[in-house]
Structure 1
Amino acid sequence: MHIDLLGPVVVRREDGTAVTPSAPKRRALLSALAVQLNRTVATEELIELVWEGCAPPTARAALQGHVAALRQLLDGPGLELGTRGSGYLLAGEPDRVDVLRFGRLCEQAGVLLPEPATPTEGVSPDPALPLLRAALDLWRGPALADCGSALLRERMLPYLTDLRLRALERLADGLLRAGRGGELAAELAEA
C-alpha cells in the first residue's frame, strides 16, 4: 500500500490499483494517521481532526467504525493500523507515504538546514539536485487537497508549502549554477 497526500488523497495497492476511501471522514482519518506514520495519535486528536472540532456524542463509536473499515482497506503488506493505548498507530515504511518521502528527500538534499552549503566554482554538479527533483516530482497538486479535514490541512499546509518553496529555491539555485536555469522556469512561475 502507498498513500499519496501531495495532491488529492490516493491510496494505491502494490499493483497500482487505487483503493482510496470515498468517505471524507475516512480520508481525514487516514490522512491524519499517515502524516504521523509510526507514531500513536490520540483518539481525542483524531476526533478533533476528523470532525473539525464539532464532534457529535457518537464520534468515538463512529471513529472505531472508520478504523475498522480502514483496517480492511489496508489489509495486506506494507501498512498496518493498530490500537495503541488511548490512540491509533499506522505503522509501515515511511517511503509508503509521499509526504514523508518528500521530507526525507528534502532532508537528504540539505533543505532543512538553515543555510544550505553553496558549492564553489569548478566543483562537480550538486549531488542534491536529483534528490530535490525527485522530491518535487512527488507533488500532484495542492497537498491534502481532498483529505476531508480543513483543520488537518490548516495544520499541515504551512509547513509543507514552506518546505516545497525552499526545495524549489534550492533546486533553482543549483540549476542556475550548473547553467541549466531554464529547466525550472515554468515550475518557478507557477509557484
Structure 2
Amino acid sequence: MEKEKKLKGEDAMLDRKLKRVYRLFYVIGLAMFFLSGCSPKEAAVPISAIESEDQLSAAPKSSNQIDGKESLRIVKLKLDNQDFQLELEENETVEELTAQFPLSLELEDLNQNEKYAYLSKALPTAPQRIVQIEKGDVLLFGSDCLVIFYESFETNYTYTRIGKIKEAAALDFLKERKSVWLWLG
C-alpha cells in the first residue's frame, strides 16, 4: 500500500514537471512567432553566396533624362491618411511590383525602426548589401517582404532597392504606431 502511494506521488511529480516543460516550449514558440517579422530565413542572401560585385547590382540603373538631369519615376504612396511621393528605382523588381498596383497593405512594426508587410506574390530580386539604411528607404527583404524604414541605422542584411520616400522627415509619426495602412499606386 505504501509502495503504491509512493509510485502515485512520483507519477504526480513527473506530470507536474512535464506540464512545466510543455508550458516552457509553448512560451518559447509564441515568442519566436511574434519576434520573427521579416526574419533572415525569408530568403535573405548571405554576402558569401554572392559571387561578384556585378551580382550585387545586377539590375540596370537607367533613368529618363529631362533637361540633362536624371528623372526617376515617382508614384503616390499613402501611409494611413498622409500622402508621400516615392521615387522608384529602375529594376525588374520595381517593374513587377508596379504591375500589382494599386496595392493596399497593413504594415506592422519591427524593431522600432521599420514597418513591413508580406506581399501576396514573390518578386524577382537583385539583392545588395545595404550597409547604411536611410530614413525613407523602401526595400524588399527576401522576395516578398516590403519594408519602409523610418529610422537610419547600419545593417549587414541584403535587400533589393524599391525606392525612397521624398518626404522622409515626415515619417516620424510611424514611431508611435504599431501598424499603418499603405496604399501604393
Same fold judged by TM-score > 0.5? no
TM-score by length of 1: 0.23
Greater length-normalized contact order (CA 8 Å, ≥ 6 residues apart): 1
For the pair shown, which has the larger CA radius of gyration, 1 or 2? 2
TM-score by length of 2: 0.23
Greater helix content: 1
